[in-house]
């Protein structure tokens, strides 16, 4: 992967940060995208990743992200659609806020669609490229009080499979990873909401999630990043249109 240029959204923290760090360590030029410059600056100081402060929520923002990446580096060889909003503020479907639902779709799904659409053309012309969607086990099995999150993560899998068919004749692959629980800043907030409702500590929530896993623990952001790094490598050239669950056998 030495010399490749990767665009990683949601790259300032959690799975996106671990993926950015890992790809840099393998010789990839990484452009991390996030709304929080402090996190991106820390990533740059730590491993030397380039960054763009932006949201993927609108079509124009996605256009600007691609344009700026091409201006700086001339190409996008790898696209990791990882940016997302959490489910911790959602309510049961009959109480769900339509504005929140639309925002979740805009960030989690439409952002991935727009960036994939905008990056894929150059990949097709070059005859190579790798795209990975970061979905979730919630995108496979659903979950309570998560209608926006689940709809967007299910949608990512459909988008991935359709794009995989379109891109396969041109040497470009599109796959997805579906992590279970990972202790990231985003899921930490979800755990805090659950802990308050149950009258327990956040650590107790995470201990229960560990206990619910067949392995007795949840996966780490680094383990998810390793799977993503494999999918964007030459070793995964024969894998296309697949959703790989990274959850140690747990449904969540």
Domains (range + CATH), the chain:
5-246 (3.40.50.720)
Residue 52 CB contacts under 8 Å (≥ 6 apart), including other chains: 31, 32, 33, 40, 65, 68, 69
One of 51, 113, 149, 206 is an active-site residue; which one?
149
The closest alpha carbon to 116, from 71, 175, 74, 72, belongs to 175
Using pLDDT thresholds of 50, 70 and 90, give the confidence band for residue 194: confident
Interatomic CA distance for residues 108 and 128, integer angstroms: 25
Q: Tokens 């459909």 appear where?
A: 158
Q: Are the C-beta atoms of residues 16 and 41 closer than 8 Å to each other? A: no
pLDDT digits (tens, 9 = 90+) for 102-141: 999 999 999 999 999 999 999 999 999 999 999 999 999 9
Active site residue 51: no
Q: What is the pLDDT of residue 147?
A: 93
Give the predicted TM-score (pTM) of the model: 0.95
Q: Please, which residues bridge with residue 132 across strands?
A: 80, 175
Token representation of residue 8: 């990683």
pLDDT digits (tens, 9 = 90+) for 63-82: 999 999 999 999 999 999 99
């Amino acid at each position: 992967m030495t010399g490749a240029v990767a665009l990683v959204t949601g790259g300032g923290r959690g799975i996106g940060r671990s993926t950015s760090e890992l790809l840099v360590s393998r010789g990839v030029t990484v452009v991390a995208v996030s709304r929080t410059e402090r996190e991106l600056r820390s990533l740059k100081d730590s491993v030397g990743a380039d960054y763009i402060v932006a949201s993927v929520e609108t079509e124009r923002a996605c256009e600007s992200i691609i344009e700026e990446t091409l201006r700086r580096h001339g190409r996008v060889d790898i696209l990791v659609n990882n940016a997302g909003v959490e489910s911790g503020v959602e309510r049961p479907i009959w109480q769900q806020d339509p504005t929140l639902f639309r925002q979740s779709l805009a960030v989690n799904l439409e952002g991935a669609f727009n960036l994939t659409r905008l990056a894929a053309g150059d990949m097709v012309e070059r005859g190579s490229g790798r795209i990975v969607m970061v979905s979730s086990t919630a995108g496979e099995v659903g979950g309570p009080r998560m209608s926006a999150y689940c709809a967007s993560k299910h949608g990512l899998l459909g988008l991935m499979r359709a794009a995989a068919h379109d891109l396969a004749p041109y040497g470009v692959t599109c796959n997805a990873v579906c992590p279970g629980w990972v202790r990231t800043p985003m899921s930490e907030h979800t755990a805090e909401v659950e802990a308050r409702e149950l009258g327990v500590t956040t650590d107790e929530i995470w201990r229960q999630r560990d206990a619910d896993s067949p392995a007795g623990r949840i996966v780490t952001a680094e383990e998810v990043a390793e799977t993503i790094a494999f999918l964007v490598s030459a070793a995964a050239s024969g894998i296309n249109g697949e959703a790989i669950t990274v959850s140690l056998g747990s449904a969540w």
